[in-house]
């Protein structure tokens, strides 16, 4: 299964124009090859009466191919849109967390901002490449765990308590959006190979701050 997933991931990584040429051209070449190969047999056994039957089959197959191609394009586009939206929301929440950490007293402020920057860098350098194999990066999971470990000991009082509470909500939203991003990647591959999707996050379980 890993070999199949890796092969499908490489195919999906191809440029759209190249994938279209291979996908459509492959079916066209297969159809022409079968037609040329079977023509002598059909002429010998069925003669002209086959043409009427062939027209019906050709129309039905053409219609089914158009439906399948349309659904495939729609599915890929929907997955791309979902991943793009989840990534944008995740980035927005990280930016807001970084700004709200300015209200934290030292050393919490520096620890929080460094943890956010570390997670963001890991998403770019580790998590996104890992999505090609429909997996989340363990390094990114560890970076997210580290943010939680920084937030957990804080005991906000006074002016920064509201900023802390808001940042906790945003942190939980970051976790949710990352899981959605990984889940979208897995569902895309699962639809391609006809298998069911697996749970969104294989990393060690984390607690939700509240």
Q: List per-residue pLDDT tens for the chain, 210 residues long.
A: 677 777 777 777 777 778 778 888 888 888 888 888 877 777 776 666 666 666 777 778 888 888 888 887 887 777 777 778 888 888 899 999 999 999 899 899 999 999 999 999 999 898 888 887 778 889 999 999 999 999 988 888 888 888 998 999 999 999 998 888 888 777 654 444 443 333 334 333 333 443
The pLDDT value given to residue 193:
40
Token output for 20: 């279209």
Say what the pLDDT of residue 198 is. Answer: 37
Q: What pLDDT was estimated at residue 116?
A: 94
Residue 135 CB contacts under 8 Å (≥ 6 apart), including other chains? 182, 202
In this predicted structure, what is the pLDDT of residue 181? 82
Separation in Å, CA 178 to CA 88, 198, 203: 11, 15, 12
pLDDT, residue 203, reads 39
Under a CB-based contact definition with an 8 Å cutoff, are residues 109 and 101 in contact? yes
Q: Which residues of 170-188 are buried (b: 16+ CB within 10 A; e: fewer)?
A: bbbbbbbbbbbbbbbbbbb
Instruction: Dihedral sign for Cα 155, 206, 208, 103, please.
Output: positive
The whole-model pTM stands at 0.58
């Amino acid at each position: 299964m890993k070999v199949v997933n890796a092969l499908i991931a490489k195919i999906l990584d191809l440029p759209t124009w190249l994938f279209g040429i291979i996908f459509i051209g492959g079916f066209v070449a297969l159809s022409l090859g079968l037609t040329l190969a079977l023509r002598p047999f059909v002429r010998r056994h069925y003669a002209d009466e086959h043409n009427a039957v062939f027209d019906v089959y050709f129309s039905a197959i053409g219609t089914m191919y158009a439906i399948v191609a349309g659904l495939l394009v729609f599915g890929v586009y929907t997955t791309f849109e979902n991943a793009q939206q989840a990534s944008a929301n995740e980035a927005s929440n990280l930016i807001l967390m970084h700004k709200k950490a300015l209200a934290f007293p030292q050393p919490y402020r520096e620890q929080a901002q460094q943890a956010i920057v570390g997670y963001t860098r890991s998403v770019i350098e580790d998590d996104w490449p890992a999505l090609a194999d429909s997996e989340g990066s363990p390094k990114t999971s560890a970076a997210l765990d580290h943010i939680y470990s920084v937030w957990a000991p804080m005991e906000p009082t006074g002016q920064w308590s509201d900023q802390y509470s808001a940042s906790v909500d945003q942190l939980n939203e970051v976790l949710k959006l990352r899981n959605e991003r990984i889940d979208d990647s897995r569902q895309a591959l699962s639809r391609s190979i006809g298998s069911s999707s697996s749970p969104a996050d294989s990393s060690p379980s984390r607690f939700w701050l509240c």
